[in-house]
Amino acid sequence: MINSNTRNHFKALKSGKVYLDTAATSLTPDIVVDKMAEYYNEYPSNVHRGNYAWGDVATTEYEGTRDKIRTWCNADNYEIVFTSGATFSSNLIYYNLHNLGIKKSIVSLNDHHANIVPYRLHNNEVEQIEIPDNGVFNEEELFKFGSLDAHMLHISGVFNATGQILDIEKITHRAKDLGAIVALDMSQHMSHDSLDADKVNADFYYWSSHKHYGPTGTGILLIKKSIADQIQPLIGGGAQVSNVTENKTEYWDMPLKLEAGTPNIAGVIGTGASIDFMQEIGMDVIHTHTQNLLGMVIKELKERKIPIICEDLPLEQRGGLVSFTIPGQHSYDVSVALGLKDIYVRSGKLCAHPVVNKLSDTGFIRVSVGVNNNEVDVARFLGALDQVLTYG
């Protein structure tokens, strides 16, 4: 159950602020911070290297996070790779298109820049699904090309600007039946809903730890074991190699092959603690809590006749966030005014310029909720918003 004890884990809230920007970066509970401090204070060693007690403990904690992810996501059929974040993971997938035999990729202009820009760096052949006039993505557009043999379908499970949830299981099964490889950005999913990786059966999943109460600078990439041998490192260095001679390089097996250099050890260990934190609460409880709060926000916005992005989307197809605009006011001005009242929301183009530019001339205002929020937060947000609506 989400209660005051849960909120007490977030020391940042003691300042009295209302934080409604979980979709950008979730708050970090004390048990995550404490676990990272434990690493620095008690066993501050590199992993997979030192032949002494600190190194053994650090490696055990680091590798233990893989086990936690595998259980949390039901990912027995996947290699679990640690990266610097979702953006790096997306680029690593792009970098391996040739190795996977991919001739063309399909992306959506509704999506985050991290899933669009990599394809433009080297003018890779890509099909861009256009943004509908109402902003609501039509999943059928992904399949208008017929056979998807030698195609990569690369898309988010939840769009970060509109909040629309896609039916990733249905999309993945259909795409794979047509011959595609599927990569899913789960960054906006993991903080408020469970993932059954084996059941959905995508080839890649990835996200950033800071989206689900973990530290920044840490990413999780799941790679289907059946294709893992085809994936080559994006960067090279120590730790990933078993032997280097004058003219030969031999790599360790997955996942270490993709983890060159000293990793973000504290970040990975903290990621494990964030999973423990959520598992202790229960993913079903988290989902119900965030959806209830989001429903309250949407109801009150509609009562105030505030234009909501993708207004026709039902609550069950919204992933923890809602974006809106206020006619006659720029999103930046609104968010600054709210911030001065200790209400923290996101505004602007949200790293999703195409969809925001399509649907607004002044940017989006986005409210996203997490386990750190409650009904009082919603009431304070609405009270501050009413002042903005009245006085500008």
Q: pLDDT confidence of 8, banded at 50, 70, 90?
A: very high
Domain end among 254, 280, 306: 280
Residue 147 has pLDDT above 90, yes or no: no
268-294 confidence digits (pLDDT tens) = 999 999 999 999 999 999 999 999 999
Pair (322, 355) in one structural domain: yes
- Label the pairing between strands 181-185 and 241-244: unpaired
**Tell me: the pLDDT tens digits for 39-50?**
999 999 999 988
Let me know whether 190 and 324 are in one domain: no
Q: Which residues contact 104 (CB under 8 A, 6 or more apart)?
A: 125, 126, 127, 150, 151, 152
> Which pLDDT score is estimated for 122?
77
Q: Tell me, what DSSP letter sits at residue 117?
A: H
| pLDDT for 11 beyond 70 | yes
Whether 351 is a known active-site residue: answer yes
Domain end (from 221, 253, 280) = 280
Tell me how far the alpha carbon of residue 344 is from its chain's centroid: 20
Last residue of a domain, one of 229, 250, 280: 280
What is the extent of the structural domain holding 303? Answer: 4-26+282-391
Identify the active-site residue in 285, 351, 382, 389.
351
Q: How many domains does the structure of the chain reveal? A: 2
Q: Are 147 and 221 in the same domain? A: yes
Q: Identify which of 158, 82, 163 has the alpha carbon closest to the alpha carbon of residue 115.
A: 158
**Residues 110 and 225 both lie in one domain:** yes
Q: What span, in angstroms and rounded, lies between the C-alpha atoms of 301 and 311?
A: 10
The verdict on 111 and 200 lying in the same domain is: yes
Residue 276 sits in the same domain as residue 253: yes
pLDDT > 90? residue 1: no
CB atoms under 10 Å from CB of 178, counted, come to 16
Q: How do residues 210-222 score in pLDDT, each as one tens digit?
A: 999 999 999 999 9
CB atoms within 10 A of CB 3: 10
- In contact, 115 and 354? CB cutoff 8 Å: no
Is 240 in the same domain as 197?
A: yes
CATH of the domain at 205: 3.40.640.10
Residue pLDDT, tens place only, 243-274? 999 999 988 888 999 999 999 999 999 999 99
The enclosing H or E element of 104 equals strand 104-108
